[in-house]
Structure 1
């Protein structure tokens, strides 16, 4: 392979540096004095597009409205190659911005020291200042300038690759971000639904708690107060006494039932006429002589008409007698007659206003207890008054000088 094909023969940095006309080894080169293709690299490395736009406004330059960043960069690169207002403004801006780097490079003359300083500029990220200082100081060797230019040139390529990589990563991040935003939206909706469910649960809990409070309050009011033990004991003793009395009365009633059953059986075996008329006064003759010992007596009147009872009581009380009435079983129980007959001195029954069985029962009771039994033909007041006369109960005498009282 010929020498023309060797890759190492191509060194654009060395050719550019060789194009620089270094008049002396002291001082610094002006921007327009730097030859070759350094201007594009210097402006692209040391100044950003906003810096160039700001400088254009300061110089009252009006770029086209649709001018791109590349077109603005190209305009200033072209103006930097020749001395003029734009080139001098660029020189002042670069010298002012990188004043510190210019001083550090200006203090060093040894090539090794300058190479070490360039390494420090790269390590600290101050490449732009070091690049401007090393390219403009006349005492910097051309080989070092070529090396610095080459490294910055390759950095631009690496930066382009990094930009492409960053753009790819940014695109991927944008897609990931879109997906995350969508997931976040779904999560937000789920969170809202969950919050709504929680709110509904809290509302139901509040309603149930209120119902429970009301129920407990009602239960507290409805629950009776506890009864003291001594009161319960007294109640129990009273109930026990009542139970003993009830059992005693039950036994007495059972005995009465047995007795009445025997009497009913005896009556059933006694021959009766086919059609039994109402008992006559002869059939129900008094069981004892119709005379009551003098003094107050107790009369039992069984049956009769309810409307006449008050008048009959008045007639009896006017004769100093106590009047007791029983309706003969119409509304009052017949079992009560037994006790009334036992406590009475005489018993009167109007046969026209009492059942045959009730009248016979009263007669038998009077015979058993040796009581005066007097059947009446009717329930009238006059018949009742005559019966009292037969019993020896007369009305009180009328006062002297007055009208004679008519017998009740």
Structure 2
């Protein structure tokens, strides 16, 4: 059986009304009930008048009871399965996890008739009384720390806004800390690069000094002038030999082979292993890459055995670098120092891998060939071109 509000103890009625209605709502109640002279009443006077009116059954207490019942009805489902004892324990324990206002908890704790209702009301009063003391201490401290102008809802809104701002500042602070860590990492990387560049600069200075000494030991400018003079003499003598050959052919002294100059090397050149272009430059005769070390950076991992077989079929020695370059680039430089040429496909390598390969070859004074494709056909064609270039150099050395 439900109890009505005029059956509650006075202190219970006082807490329920005080927690439920603020000054604006109390003015609306007085206006709705057409109670005279309510415009001049203070908030405490309106509250006292309502508590006194609810002490007995009348049109005011009936209206208040109906209003409270309708307002708290939406919280009934959240307290389903709890009896008055359980709700009392919730109030005593300060449990707000069910998101039910304290006024509604008090209402449902004392609403139904029970043989222990007086004991329950006493327990509820004691628990609420202690919570009132805590709330007053908090309010007193808050008043001394912050200006509390406006209604309770406005103050709560300001506190919530401050909490949101605090969380936003915390997120910004965390983001700033992450950026600082990132900047520190970048600074450390720059310092490492600077240290490595310093080492490379010292090495370059050392090599430059060695080249200068070798240049001076070889005669310097004087040796260069001698080479230029010898080159001019070779061109002059070659022209003279060509003239003599023509004269010999004209006189019939030699029907097929000239006996002097460049012509005397033609048979030798024809007998040397050269590139066979009859099938579009697809193969090499002899050992055109014999004694040459060839390196490939990157490429298709599954084709590495095929790359190796292609180089070895031409008589060369194959080296491979996966194309993954760490902060230390000496492994690329060491590879460039071992080989005669480096091939680097641009379609399967990163920009850094291509850049490091180029720098390493330049540092070691080795040729670097960039391939548009990692396919075997493109690699084979570049090998053939490289072999042709090497053969031309041999011919030039022989004719020189």
TM-score tier after normalising by the smaller chain length: 0.3 to 0.5
User: Which is bigger in relative contact order (C-alpha 8 A, separation at least 6)?
Assistant: 1
TM-score (norm 2): 0.32
TM-score (norm 1): 0.32
**Structure index of larger Rg:** 1
